[in-house]
Amino acid sequence: MAPSHSLADKTMCGHLYIVTAPSGAGKTTLVRHLLANDPGIRVSVSHTTRAPRAGERDGFEYHFIGVQDFLDKIANNDFLEWAQVHGNYYGTSASGIEVALQAGQDVLLEIDWQGAQQVRRQFPAASGIFIVPPSIDELGRRLRERATDSDETIARRVAAAREEMRHVDEFDYVIINDDLQRALHDLLAVVRATRLRCPAQRQRHSILFATML
């Protein structure tokens, strides 16, 4: 399913984060707070064939496109990854990510486990972060509270959450979202620690190291 892009071969300055969670785990809220706290990260806006929910705007939460347009983009190898999730197509456009990473910007992808697997194959250095809800009951409650999906959709998403949870071991970091502030601090800690990794620091402070080594 994953197209083969040449991105991984190029020298990237920014870091790629993959954030995955069952629907209703609070991923989007958490990511929104992360972006507000850290201007160095930009989130990739995915394409989807799902209908917009109330309040969602084209080009902001998603690029909303038709199935044929999505299939054309697959055929054109436009996606870094794509998957069918809950009966709709979702995909990450490759072009914006390449530009951002090469410009030294960190990029965050909010994608499901199938997309995460595809991206990890192309970017082994990407950091995978899995957000876990405090319980399945709480997950169902949050989905109902959102009141944007039908009962049938909610039931399907709760069932899918169990399936998604089975992939938790494929991720580097796990954050339990039982308290938004604590979960946000955990996420900020992951980003901060990633920026302190030796290769990133060597690149960022190359002049300093040149004077000392």
The residue from 78, 106, 112, 186 that contacts ligand 5GP (CB under 6 A) is: 112
In the complex, the smallest distance separating the C-beta of residue 204 from ligand 5GP, rounded to whole angstroms, is: 29
- The identity of residue 81, as a single letter, is E
Q: Which two tokens stand for residue 52?
A: 């917009």
Residue 26 lies near ligand 5GP (rule: CB under 6 A): no
Residue 50 lies near ligand 5GP (rule: CB under 6 A): yes
Q: Are 89 and 70 in contact (CB under 8 A)?
A: yes
- Is 22 annotated to bind ligand? yes
The residue from 46, 49, 127, 177 that contacts ligand 5GP (CB under 6 A) is: 46
The residue from 7, 12, 14, 23 that contacts ligand 5GP (CB under 6 A) is: 23
In order, the DSSP letters of 162-187 are: HHHHTTGGGSSEEEE-SSHHHHHHHH
Strand 106-110 and strand 41-43: the pairing is parallel
Using CA atoms, how far residue 128 sits from 12, 47, 110, in Å, is 17, 21, 10
Strand 88-93 and strand 173-176: the pairing is unpaired
CA 119 to chain centre: 10
Residue 115 lies near ligand 5GP (rule: CB under 6 A): yes
- Is 20 annotated to bind ligand? no
- Is 21 annotated to bind ligand? yes
- Is 133 annotated to bind ligand? no
Reduced to 3 states (helix: H, G, I; strand: E, B; else coil), residue 58 is: strand
Tell me which residue of 31, 30, 1, 18 sits closest to 171, measured CA to CA: 18
In the complex, the smallest distance separating the C-beta of residue 169 from ligand 5GP, rounded to whole angstroms, is: 18
> Which residue has the closest beta carbon to ligand 5GP?
115
Contact characters 72-91, ligand 5GP, x per CB under 6 A: ---------x-x-xx---xx
- Is 55 annotated to bind ligand? no
- 60 CB burial (10 A radius; 0-12, 13-18, 19+): exposed
- Is 91 annotated to bind ligand? no
CB-facing half-sphere around the CA of 2: CA atoms within 13 A: 17
Stretch that binds ligand 5GP, among 108-116, 171-179, 186-194, 205-213 (CB under 6 A): 108-116
The residue from 97, 111, 132, 158 that contacts ligand 5GP (CB under 6 A) is: 111
- Is 2 annotated to bind ligand? no
Please enumerate, by residue number, every residue annotated as part of a binding site. Answer: 21-28
Please enumerate, by residue number, every residue annotated as part of a binding site for ATP. Answer: 21-28
Residues that bind ligand 5GP (CB under 6 A): 23, 46, 50, 81, 83, 85-86, 90-92, 110-112, 114-115
